[in-house]
Amino acid sequence: MPMKFRISSEYGVLEEIRGGRVHKGIDLAMPPGTELHSIADGTIEKVINNKLMGNGVYVRAENGDVHVYGHLDKVAVKPGDHVDAGDLIALSGNTGHSTGPHLHFALLHDGYVADPTPLVNAVQHYSGEIAGPSFLGIKGPALFIAEKVPHSIGDAVKDQVAHSLAAHALDWLQAASIVFYELGLVACTALIILGAVGLKNGYRWAGMTFISVALLRYLLGGVAE
């Protein structure tokens, strides 16, 4: 499965940012405003806000495990709510004791902290959309949440959404520049081979293709930077 999010801090590591304490979860780097969906059927056990985790949600799955989401921006659920796997629970953020936008994801098994790393693929599968504007008049769930909160908070969320969309677009441009360049190299190789076996102007087309894809990569990469 292609990884949407990079693991920026693994379970159990010791880092100065935590005052030498063991990391009791994993951190997944992601743009603020990323939609986070439950990875299992369950019940919202509690919604918190503190200086360490910021806005957080605890989801008790039907198997008894508790999935913890921290450093959230806007929370879409309340204690006691039932959620199915795939239901929106929050937007990611940078609240609490955090050095940058990311999701702190933790696991409680039988009441004890456990390594949540085996659940990363599920998080990658269910979450990842960026809260964006309506399409053909249909609003995404994250934008719907932003419009339902008080006006001053809603403006802040929408500004965050706009920033997230811009960051996502730049990431796409950078990735696209690499893909186009690699495809161009394949095309150049094919044209050189065809030129060698007699294709008229094969070498010239290969040279023009290489110049074109190199220029395209430079332009897209420059925009993304």
pLDDT digits (tens, 9 = 90+) for 102-119: 999 999 999 999 999 999
Catalytic residue from among 23, 102, 104, 151: 102
**Residue 60: inside a domain, yes or no?**
yes
145-64-24 Cα angle (round to 5): 75
pLDDT tier at 222, thresholds 50, 70, 90:
very low
**Residue 154: inside a domain, yes or no?**
no
The pLDDT of residue 128 is 85
Q: Are residues 131 and 196 in the same domain?
A: no
Q: Which of residues 73 and 174 earns the better pLDDT score?
A: 73
Distances (CA, A) of 221 to 25, 123, 172, 176, 215: 34, 29, 10, 9, 10
CA atoms of 119 and 199, how far apart (whole Å): 53
Q: Domain boundary residue among 95, 117, 148? A: 148
**Residue 213: inside a domain, yes or no?**
yes
The DSSP call for residue 53 is T
Q: Which of residues 50 and 168 earns the better pLDDT score?
A: 50
Q: Which residues are CB-contacts of 105 (< 8 A; sequence separation ≥ 6)?
A: 25, 26, 27, 28, 67, 68, 69, 70, 116, 119, 120, 123
Q: Are residues 89 and 171 in the same domain?
A: no
For the chain, how big is the Rg over CA atoms in Å?
22
Q: Are residues 69 and 176 in the same domain?
A: no
Q: Are residues 183 and 133 in the same domain?
A: no
pLDDT tier at 36, thresholds 50, 70, 90:
very high
Mean pLDDT of 197-217: 76
Two tokens, residue 221:
């990469």
**Residue 155: inside a domain, yes or no?**
no
Two tokens, residue 55:
């806005």
Q: Are residues 144 and 178 in the same domain?
A: no
Judged by DSSP in three states, 71 sits in: strand
Please state the length of the chain. 225
The pLDDT of residue 89 is 96
Q: Which of residues 53 and 167 earns the better pLDDT score?
A: 53
Q: Are residues 208 and 175 in the same domain?
A: yes
Q: Are residues 16 and 86 in the same domain?
A: yes
The pLDDT of residue 180 is 66
Q: Domain boundary residue among 148, 175, 197? A: 148
Q: Are residues 11 and 102 in the same domain?
A: yes
The DSSP call for residue 168 is H
Active site residue 23: no
209 phi and psi angles, rounded to 5 deg: -65, -45
The pLDDT of residue 107 is 95
The DSSP call for residue 60 is E
Q: Domain boundary residue among 148, 173, 198? A: 148
Q: Does residue 135 register a pLDDT over 70? A: no
**CATH of residue 100:** 2.70.70.10
- pLDDT > 70 fraction of the chain, expressed in percent and rounded: 68
Distances (CA, A) of 40 to 62, 67, 84, 187: 8, 9, 6, 45
**Residue 199: inside a domain, yes or no?**
yes
Q: Are residues 108 and 134 in the same domain?
A: yes
**Residue 160: inside a domain, yes or no?**
no
Q: Give per-residue pLDDT as tens, 144-155.
A: 554 444 544 444
Q: Are residues 131 and 177 in the same domain?
A: no
Q: Which of residues 216 and 208 earns the better pLDDT score?
A: 208
The pLDDT of residue 175 is 62
Mean of all residue pLDDT scores within the chain: 77
Q: Are residues 99 and 179 in the same domain?
A: no
Q: Are residues 74 and 130 in the same domain?
A: yes
Structural domain boundaries enclosing 186 = 165-224
